[in-house]
Structure 1
Amino acid sequence: MMLEPSIDALQEKINSKYTLVTLSARRARQMQETKQVLIENPKSHKYVGLALEEIQADKLYYEAAEE
């Protein structure tokens, strides 16, 4: 079974696997509370999958804080 979107495609958007996991988990919890999804016609029925689809669609992104 192939996961969509692929980890390779997601790492082109966010290069750190740790950041990718943290961002998608936070967004999944937020969606669970609000039931609001930023993309139309999602393929996934699970919140983490929806968050990853939002990252792939450039609806959810991460900006590094300046040090």
Structure 2
Amino acid sequence: MIVYPSIDKLLANVPSRYSLAVLASKRAHQLEAGSLRMLAEYQSPRTVGQALEEIAAGDVVIDPDSKLLERDAERLEHQQELRDDANDDAGHDEH
């Protein structure tokens, strides 16, 4: 569970939870590969947490010209909707 930074602070900088997940994942991979760190110090020892801290600080943002991240977020959202529908259908079968 994310305690810091708060989800509200994160979503102030990113348009959706799905975009946040994709952005944090991509940034965490960059950090693991040795990319330049944006903050002087981090509260989280893990790269995903560090990526979220950078996003909350406004140091890592979605490139407005990039359609790839938007497509990734849309794909994730669609997959989640399919899972939700499947779970709803499974719940109806039990009755």
Q: Does TM-score exceed 0.5, indicating one fold?
A: yes
TM-score (norm 2): 0.62
Q: CA RMSD in A?
A: 2.1
TM-score (norm 1): 0.86
Structure 2 unmatched runs, 5+: 68-95
The residue number in structure 2 matching 1:53 is 53
**Shift in alpha-carbon separation, 1:41–1:22, aligned structure 2, 3 A:** same
The residue number in structure 1 matching 2:62 is 62
Trace 1:35-46 onto structure 2 (pairs within 5 A). Answer: 36-46=36-46
CA drift of 1:66 comes to 7.9
User: 2:62, 2:33 → 1: CA distance?
Assistant: 21
Amino acid in the other structure paired with 2:54:
E
CA drift of 1:58 comes to 1.0
Amino acid in the other structure paired with 1:26:
K
The residue number in structure 1 matching 2:7 is 7
Structure 1 unmatched runs, 5+: none
Match of 1:13, SS state, is coil
Match of 1:34, SS state, is coil
Aligned-residue identity in percent: 33
Higher gyration radius (CA)? 2
Task: Give the structure with the higher percent helix.
Answer: 2
Following TM superposition, where does structure 1 have runs of at least 4 consecutive aligned residues deviating by more than 4 angstroms?
A: none
